């Protein structure tokens, strides 16, 4: 062991990225590629009756126009899930490349391919579309009512799915005398990922196959989906994923790769680039599910739960994408985070005429935690109990095992995280100090805990493949199907490989680009899975590689392989720690030997059948200017137990990014729609209030490190968890400051103005 | 890639006027922070542009012999903020334009563009209106000077005649001497935002700091263009420096404005802000003037 795991190694891509050498999709596309642009519908629900492209075709530079009347009729799913060979577990196939049946304002009805951007844009403006308009519905509960406009024939009342978790006997349990009933409705908004690099891809034909370069999190999955969408063998599609400027789940969907692939086939295989604008990204990619949650708790005066009920309505938008997975994950957290003997949960995922909801960092848990942790605060207040004490009395105990996932709560993470958070923010002292305030400007501290689990087993396949190749100098190339999307995965992978092989960190060369023709099969970046999941195949493959190296070392040193080891890039004899030769010398000999030449490599797949809880909390401190209806976030800290930290500096950065997302989620971000037309109102970065550096205090990340026993390197989820607890912590801090409970996010000045009026503060 | 039909570079103010007369459909390009966005959005796709950006004679802040502060139309926001003349005599204007967008926008955006857009939310607008600034316009036939209150005609429309460009903003000595002001930009974010309501107040106090000799108040986003609040001013002029005066001033402002409900904010909330911001802006202006409340 040379101890690289656990060290804040510099990112393997740091210098290329800060000097601008790192190449992203657009950097790889030559300037004479054709440019594609998509024509989006200007109605929220209806059908395309006719499209007149005659004026557009006359525009100089226009090469090809395809409409919804031209495209193949292969319906395909878009979610970036592993394929299931069981038809009952396959994602819903409800998309076409372009659609005659328009289901939201911004749906794709035609595409233009032109010599340049200006001609393409001019052509879009010149295309005439005749629609037949239907009434539309934007709200999930409205969409479930009889008589509501129907989006998909196969789904009556627009219900994509309804699942339940029932435990004990709720109806009998609530009859217990002396119970206190607490009820609340909690709303979360439609938000967008706002990764820096918008989705972009380009496609061309080579040797009769289609080659797509795309800003995606999931190259191998995109290959399958392009095959399905075009009705061609999956092997005739090659997907290349270079560096990408963030994804946060939006690029865990096939976005415009299928259309772009189709367009190149329509222009003789010439390279076609489809570069999505920010405005389109908000509307015609994916958004986070807006979820409305209804919770009823029956509690005993001693602060224990008798029965709990939860129902949630998840706004899917127009197409299934990741569908019910989000609401179901959120629902799954409910009975686990605060176990109770009598529980009724119902989750509904409902189609509406809104942009399509897909995966977004947290995958249902930010919504569930806003509802759940706001409600817990409300229950504690109803009991006149300190909410932290109430949480600690009821939250998941050590030793808890979930019946379905078999996840076990091995450590006292929640209590340990809470203690660190309290200490950082000075919780009890500030609580007491701020309780005395009564003026127009008041302060408060609040907190929330969160539940998360790592990766997707047992709901879906979890496997990872890894390839290692030894160079003449003893360095190693590492290839993984799991993708670097800005989070630092390549660096963590290099550390794990170096540690297991016994070579210096800088001797591992990660091939960052995934190319489905070359890279071993893997599923990509999602579900906070990569460090946990990738760790297994890295360790297994590195151990195989090491065994081969030591076997070859036996030939050169005549020492038995089981008495040899690799330390710091040298072959050593374990008994006396003598360095027998460098790995480089061995590798050179192995390749060029006239007696036994061998290219030492290793490749393997590891299927993971475990999963791990990843818990933590957030503490927030706010200043509320009541007459201005403004919240100033003064201080916020997240504390996580994600097991052993592979790279503390990268872990901290990951937490900072997630917290920034949570701040916007809690206070400012929301995609708005015109009630009269279904048109998005603020699909740009001026009107959509993504929080800026000037809206953040110094944000703090702290860790508790309990080694995760199921994990190859003791680590577990940290990608998504940081985005989960911030919004309810801020909400609870505002409640502490003002006494006003706000049950919807974002908690904007508009919302506070209305609530402060209702509560008589204004 | 921008859809621009033609771009003419003006070599002098007179050349710019001639180009605009020769190409009446052309848009004037200064910093470009609004025009280029509108071209990208398609609203101005295929536009003909006359660029005045190279006319250095329109840059800079200077004090004229009679004490008039002259701000060249092409002066960037960041230069205004850093100007010693502005900092000494009308600091609030430098503070106000320092709230535009972010640093990059403030380096490229110009006060001429900010006023000629005719946008109610312009961060320079309310302060210029509150200080009775004068807009200098130059055309083929010469120079016109228009009070900024008359320059704003309606949303997006200003008093610019064919072949004319704005060459300077002038603030006469009597308009700033003895006054201290405060601007509040109320927005949803602390950067990269446009105002939900902008409020600029300034006062001149008596020598003993006990009486408000003159108070001026202007708003952005309380109506279609930046506007003064004469009722509020009347409620404070000649009144003693005290909380009651500030309160009367703020309440009277409600008579001067008529904001509307849009998806960005309700009328009720905007009215609440009009009053609250007036109270805070005046109190701060009084404090800056040495008055005590």
DSSP string computed for A8-36: -PPPTTHHHHHHT-S-BHHHHS-TTSEEE
Residue A629's SS3 state is coil
Query: Chain B, 74-113: which have a CB under 8 Å from a chain A CB?
Result: 102
First to last CA, chain A: 64
* Residue (of A191, A215, A202) closest to A525 by Cα position: A215
In sequence order, what are the beta bridge partners of A181? A298
* Residue (of A74, A254, A289) closest to A161 by Cα position: A289
Residues 6+ apart with CB under 8 A from A683: A278, A279, A282, A283, A671
Q: Does A749 contact B45 at a Cβ distance shorter than 8 Å?
A: no
User: Are B112 and B151 a contacting pair, CB within 8 Å?
Assistant: no
Whole-angstrom CA distances from A183 to A47, A305, A469, A476, B62 are: 42, 13, 59, 58, 65
- Please give the residue of chain B at the shortest CA–CA distance from A125: B42
User: Are B247 and B233 a contacting pair, CB within 8 Å?
Assistant: no
* Facing residue for B190 by CB, picked from A682, A692, A748: A692
The whole-number pLDDT of residue A2 equals 53
Q: Does B269 contact A121 at a Cβ distance shorter than 8 Å?
A: no
Q: Does B188 contact A749 at a Cβ distance shorter than 8 Å?
A: yes
Helices and strands in chain A, H and E counts: 20, 27
| Spatial distance between the Cα atoms of A747 and A630, rounded to a whole number of angstroms | 9
Residues 6+ apart with CB under 8 A from A74: A96, A228, A229, A230, A231
Q: In this structure, are A343 and A353 located in the same domain?
A: yes
Q: In this structure, are A330 and A436 located in the same domain?
A: no
Q: In this structure, are A297 and A179 located in the same domain?
A: yes
Report yes or no on A100 lying in a domain: yes
Q: Does B269 contact A628 at a Cβ distance shorter than 8 Å?
A: no
- Report how many Cβ contacts below 8 Å link chain A to chain B: 55
pLDDT of A47 above 70: yes
The whole-number pLDDT of residue A1 equals 46
Residues of B in contact with A689 (CB under 8 A): 188-189, 193
Report yes or no on A7 lying in a domain: no
Q: In this structure, are A104 and A199 located in the same domain?
A: yes
Residues of B in contact with A122 (CB under 8 A): 3, 45-46
Whole-angstrom CA distances from A428 to A376, A387, A393, A674, A741 are: 18, 12, 18, 45, 20
| Spatial distance between the Cα atoms of A538 and A554, rounded to a whole number of angstroms | 24
Q: Does B266 touch chain A (CB under 8 A)?
A: yes
Q: In this structure, are A622 and A700 located in the same domain?
A: yes
Tokens of A459: 């709901």
| Spatial distance between the Cα atoms of A309 and A341, rounded to a whole number of angstroms | 11
Q: Does B190 touch chain A (CB under 8 A)?
A: yes
Whole-angstrom CA distances from B46 to A9, A30, A119, A277, B22 are: 51, 25, 11, 19, 17
Q: Report the CATH number at residue A117.
A: 3.90.1170.50
A70, exposed or middle or buried, with CB in 10 Å at 0-12, 13-18, 19+? middle
* Facing residue for B3 by CB, picked from A121, A749, A762: A121
Query: Where a domain ends, among A370, A397, A424?
Result: A397
Q: Each residue of A481-510: pLDDT tens digit?
A: 999 999 999 999 999 999 999 999 999 999
Report yes or no on A187 lying in a domain: yes
Tokens of A114: 């032109």
Domains of chain B: 4-51 (3.30.43.10), 58-173 (3.30.465.10), 182-288 (3.30.390.50)
Report yes or no on A463 lying in a domain: yes
Residue A261's SS3 state is helix
Question: What's the domain count of chain A?
Answer: 4
- Average of pLDDT values for A614-642? 98
Choose from B6, B193, B246 for mutation: most chain A CBs within 10 A.
B193
Tokens of B26: 């052309």
Rounded to the nearest angstrom, the minimum Cα separation between A108 and chain B is 19
Q: Does A692 contact B188 at a Cβ distance shorter than 8 Å?
A: no
Q: Does A125 contact B3 at a Cβ distance shorter than 8 Å?
A: no
Q: Does B193 contact A686 at a Cβ distance shorter than 8 Å?
A: yes
Residues of B in contact with A666 (CB under 8 A): none
Residues of A in contact with B1 (CB under 8 A): 116-118
Q: Each residue of B163-220: pLDDT tens digit?
A: 999 999 999 999 999 999 999 999 999 999 999 999 999 999 999 999 999 999 999 9
Report yes or no on A27 lying in a domain: no
Share of chain B above pLDDT 70, in %: 100
| Spatial distance between the Cα atoms of A714 and A539, rounded to a whole number of angstroms | 12
- Please give the residue of chain A at the shortest CA–CA distance from B42: A121
Report yes or no on A438 lying in a domain: yes
Q: In this structure, are A518 and A549 located in the same domain?
A: yes
Q: Does B13 touch chain A (CB under 8 A)?
A: no
Query: Where a domain ends, among A573, A607, A641?
Result: A607
With residue A333 as reference, give the H or E element that holds it: helix A325-337
Q: What angle do CA A338, A339, A342 make, to 5 degrees?
A: 120
The strand pair at B47-51 and B27-29 is best described as: parallel
- Please give the residue of chain A at the shortest CA–CA distance from B101: A686
Rounded to the nearest angstrom, the minimum Cα separation between B36 and chain A is 14
Q: Report the CATH number at residue A750.
A: 3.30.365.10
The strand pair at A237-241 and A305-317 is best described as: unpaired
| Spatial distance between the Cα atoms of A256 and A252, rounded to a whole number of angstroms | 12
Q: In this structure, are A77 and A170 located in the same domain?
A: no
The strand pair at B27-29 and A237-241 is best described as: unpaired
pLDDT averaged over every residue in chain B: 97
Q: In this structure, are A526 and A573 located in the same domain?
A: yes
User: Are A226 and A238 a contacting pair, CB within 8 Å?
Assistant: no
pLDDT averaged over every residue in chain A: 97
pLDDT band of A382, cuts 50, 70, 90: very high
Q: In this structure, are A240 and A344 located in the same domain?
A: no
Residues of A in contact with B188 (CB under 8 A): 668, 689, 748-749
Q: Does B6 touch chain A (CB under 8 A)?
A: no
* Residue (of B207, B198, B260, B206) closest to B229 by Cα position: B198
Supply the range of the domain harboring residue A494: 14-21+457-607
Residues 6+ apart with CB under 8 A from A680: A105, A106, A282, A283, A355, A671, A672, A673, A674
Q: Which residue has the tokens 């002066």?
A: B75
- Please give the residue of chain B at the shortest CA–CA distance from A692: B191
- Do you find a cis peptide bond into B247, omega within 30 degrees of 0? no
Tokens of A677: 């037309």
Q: In this structure, are A296 and A274 located in the same domain?
A: no
Per residue, what are the HEC states of chain B?
CCCEEEEEECCCHHHHHHHHHHCCCCEEECCCCCHHHHHHHCCCCCEEEEECCCCHHHCCEEECCCCCEEEECCCEHHHHHHCHHHHHHCHHHHHHHCCCCCHHHHHHCEHHHHHHCCCCCCCCHHHHHHCCCEEEEEECCEEEEEEHHHHEEECCEECCCCCCEEEEEEECHHHHCCCEEEEEEECCCCCCCCCCEEEEEEEEECCCCCEEEEEEEEEECCCCCCEECHHHHHHHCCCECCHHHHHHHHHHHCCCCCCCCECCECHHHHHHHHHHHHHHHHHHHHHHCCCCC
Residues of B in contact with A668 (CB under 8 A): 188-189
Rounded to the nearest angstrom, the minimum Cα separation between A497 and chain B is 43
Q: Does B9 touch chain A (CB under 8 A)?
A: no
- Do you find a cis peptide bond into B205, omega within 30 degrees of 0? no
Q: Does B269 touch chain A (CB under 8 A)?
A: yes
Q: Does A125 contact B265 at a Cβ distance shorter than 8 Å?
A: no
Q: What is the phi/psi pair of residue A355, to 5°?
A: -55, 155
The whole-number pLDDT of residue A212 equals 98
Report yes or no on A28 lying in a domain: no
| Spatial distance between the Cα atoms of B241 and B214, rounded to a whole number of angstroms | 11
| Spatial distance between the Cα atoms of B249 and B237, rounded to a whole number of angstroms | 9
Report yes or no on A544 lying in a domain: yes
Residues of B in contact with A694 (CB under 8 A): 189-191
Residues of A in contact with B45 (CB under 8 A): 121-122, 125
In sequence order, which ranges of A53-92 are alpha helices (DSSP H)? 54-57
Q: Each residue of A147-193: pLDDT tens digit?
A: 999 999 999 999 999 999 999 999 999 999 999 999 999 999 999 99
- Please give the residue of chain B at the shortest CA–CA distance from A753: B269
Using an 8 Å CB-CB cutoff, list residues of chain A that contact chain B. Answer: 116-118, 121-122, 125, 627-629, 668, 672, 674, 681-682, 685-687, 689, 691-695, 748-750, 753, 762
Q: In this structure, are A726 and A645 located in the same domain?
A: yes
- Average of pLDDT values for B128-156? 97
Q: Does A693 contact B191 at a Cβ distance shorter than 8 Å?
A: yes
Rounded to the nearest angstrom, the minimum Cα separation between A144 and chain B is 26
Query: Where a domain ends, among A557, A574, A607?
Result: A607
pLDDT band of B1, cuts 50, 70, 90: confident
Residues of A in contact with B38 (CB under 8 A): none
- Average of pLDDT values for A3-15? 97
Residues 6+ apart with CB under 8 A from B84: none
Q: In this structure, are A125 and A159 located in the same domain?
A: no
| Spatial distance between the Cα atoms of B37 and B194, rounded to a whole number of angstroms | 15
Rounded to the nearest angstrom, the minimum Cα separation between B281 and chain A is 13
Q: Does B12 touch chain A (CB under 8 A)?
A: no
With residue A225 as reference, give the H or E element that holds it: helix A219-230
pTM of the model: 0.97
| Spatial distance between the Cα atoms of A435 and A737, rounded to a whole number of angstroms | 8
Q: Does B193 touch chain A (CB under 8 A)?
A: yes
- Average of pLDDT values for A451-460? 93
């Amino acid at each position: 062991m040379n101890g690289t795991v656990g060290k804040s190694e510099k990112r393997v891509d740091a210098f290329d990225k800060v000097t601008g050498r790192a190449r992203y999709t657009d950097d790889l596309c030559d300037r004479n590629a054709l440019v594609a642009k998509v024509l989006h519908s200007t109605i929220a629900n209806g059908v395309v009756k006719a499209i007149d492209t005659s004026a557009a075709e006359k525009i100089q530079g226009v090469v090809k126009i395809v409409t919804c009347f031209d495209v193949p009729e292969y319906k395909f799913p878009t979610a970036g899930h592993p394929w299931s060979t069981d038809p009952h577990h396959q994602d819903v196939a409800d998309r076409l490349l372009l659609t005659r049946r328009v289901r939201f304002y911004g749906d794709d009805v035609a595409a233009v391919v032109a010599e340049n951007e200006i001609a393409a844009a001019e052509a879009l403006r010149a295309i005439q579309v005749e629609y037949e308009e239907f009434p539309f519905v934007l709200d999930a509960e409205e969409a479930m009512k009889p008589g509501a406009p129907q989006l998909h024939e196969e789904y009556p009342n627009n219900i994509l799915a309804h699942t339940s978790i029932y435990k004990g006997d709720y109806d009998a349990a609530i009859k217990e005398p002396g119970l206190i009933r607490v009820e609340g409705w909690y709303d979360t908004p439609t938000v967008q990922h706002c990764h820096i690099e918008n989705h972009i891809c380009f496609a061309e034909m080579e040797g009769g196959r289609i080659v797509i370069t795309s800003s995606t999190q999931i190259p191998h999955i995109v290959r399958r989906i392009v095959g399905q969408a075009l009705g061609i063998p999956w092997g005739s599609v090659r997907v290349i994923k270079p560096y990408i400027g963030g994804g946060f789940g939006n690029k865990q969907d096939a976005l415009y790769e299928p259309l772009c692939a189709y367009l190149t086939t329509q222009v003789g295989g010439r390279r076609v680039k489809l570069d999505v604008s920010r405005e389109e990204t908000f509307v015609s990619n994916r958004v986070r599910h807006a979820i409305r949650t209804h919770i009823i708790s029956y509690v005993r005066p001693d602060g224990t739960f008798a029965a709990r009920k939860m129902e949630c309505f998840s706004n899917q938008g127009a197409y299934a994408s990741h569908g019910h997975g989000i609401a179901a994950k959120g629902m799954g957290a409910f009975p686990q985070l605060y176990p109770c003997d009598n529980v009724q949960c119902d989750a509904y995922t409902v189609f509406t005429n809104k942009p399509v909801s897909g995966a977004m960092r947290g995958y249902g848990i930010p919504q569930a935690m806003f509802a759940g942790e706001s409600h817990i605060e409300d229950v504690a207040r109803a009991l006149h109990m300190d909410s932290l004490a109430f949480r600690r009395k009821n939250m998941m105990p050590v030793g808890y095992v979930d019946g379905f996932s078999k996840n076990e709560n091995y450590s006292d993470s929640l209590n340990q995280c809470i203690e660190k958070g309290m200490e950082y923010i000075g919780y009890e002292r500030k609580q007491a100090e701020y309780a005395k305030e009564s003026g127009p400007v008041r302060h408060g501290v609040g907190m929330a805990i969160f539940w998360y689990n790592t990766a997707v087993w047992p709901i879906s396949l979890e496997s990872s493949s890894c390839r290692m190749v030894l160079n003449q100098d003893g360095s190693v190339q590492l290839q993984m199907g799991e993708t670097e999307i800005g989070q630092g995965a390549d660096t963590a992978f290099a550390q794990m490989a170096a540690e297991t092989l016994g070579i210096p960190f800088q001797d591992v060369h990660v091939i960052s680009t995934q190319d489905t023709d070359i890279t071993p099969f893997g599923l990509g970046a999602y579900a906070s899975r990569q460090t946990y999941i990738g760790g297994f195949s890295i360790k297994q493959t590195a151990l195989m590689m090491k065994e081969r190296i030591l076997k070859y070392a036996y030939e050169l040193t005549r020492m038995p392989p089981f008495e040899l080891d690799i330390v710091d890039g040298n072959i050593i004899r374990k008994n006396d720690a003598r360095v027998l030769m460098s790995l480089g010398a061995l590798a050179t000999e192995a390749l060029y030997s006239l007696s036994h030449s061998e290219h030492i490599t290793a490749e393997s797949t590891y299927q993971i059948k475990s999963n791990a809880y990843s818990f933590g909390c957030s503490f927030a401190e706010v200043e509320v200017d009541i007459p201005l209806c403004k919240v100033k976030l003064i201080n916020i800290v997240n504390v996580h137990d994600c097991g052993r930290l592979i790279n503390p500096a990268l872990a901290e950065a990951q937490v900072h990014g997630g917290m920034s997302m949570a701040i916007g989620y809690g206070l400012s971000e929301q995609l708005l729609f015109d009630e009269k037309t279904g048109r998005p109102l603020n699909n740009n970065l001026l009107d959509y209030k993504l929080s800026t550096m000037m809206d953040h205090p110094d944000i703090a990340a702290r860790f508790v490190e309990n080694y995760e026993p199921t994990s190859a390197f003791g680590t577990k989820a940290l990608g998504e968890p940081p985005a989960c607890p911030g919004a309810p912590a801020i909400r609870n801090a505002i409640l502490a400051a003002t006494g006003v409970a706000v049950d919807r996010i974002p908690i904007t000045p508009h919302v506070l103005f209305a609530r402060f009026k209702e509560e008589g503060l204004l | 890639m921008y859809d621009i039909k033609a771009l003419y570079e003006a070599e002098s103010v007179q050349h710019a006027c001639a180009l605009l007369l020769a190409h009446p459909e052309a848009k004037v390009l200064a910093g470009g922070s609004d025009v280029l966005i509108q071209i990208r959005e398609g609203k101005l796709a295929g536009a003909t542009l006359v660029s005045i950006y190279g006319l250095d004679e329109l840059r800079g802040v200077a004090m004229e012999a009679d004490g008039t502060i002259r701000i060249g139309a092409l002066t960037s926001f960041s230069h205004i903020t850093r100007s010693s003349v502005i900092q000494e005599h009308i600091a609030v204007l430098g503070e106000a334009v320092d709230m535009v967008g972010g640093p990059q926008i403030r380096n490229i955006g110009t006060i001429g563009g900010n006023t000629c857009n005719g946008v109610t939310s312009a961060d320079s607008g309310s302060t210029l209106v509150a200080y009775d600034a004068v807009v200098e316009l130059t055309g083929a036939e010469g120079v016109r000077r228009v009070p900024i209150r008359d320059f704003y005609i309606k949303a997006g429309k200003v008093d610019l005649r064919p072949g004319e460009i704005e060459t300077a903003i002038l603030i006469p000595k009597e308009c700033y001497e003895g006054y201290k002001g405060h601007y509040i930009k109320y927005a949803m974010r602390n950067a990269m935002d446009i105002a939900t309501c902008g409020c600029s107040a300034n006062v001149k106090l008596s020598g003993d700091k006990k009486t408000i000799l003159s108070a001026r108040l202007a708003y952005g986003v309380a109506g279609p263009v930046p506007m003064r609040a004469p009722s509020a001013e009347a409620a404070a002029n000649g009144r003693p420096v005290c909380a009651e005066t500030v309160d009367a001033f703020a309440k009277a402002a409600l008579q001067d404005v008529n904001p509307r409900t849009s998806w960005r904010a309700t009328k009720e909330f905007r009215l609440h802000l009009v009053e609250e911001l007036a109270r805070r802006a005046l109190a701060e202006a009084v404090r800056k003037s040495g008055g005590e409340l």
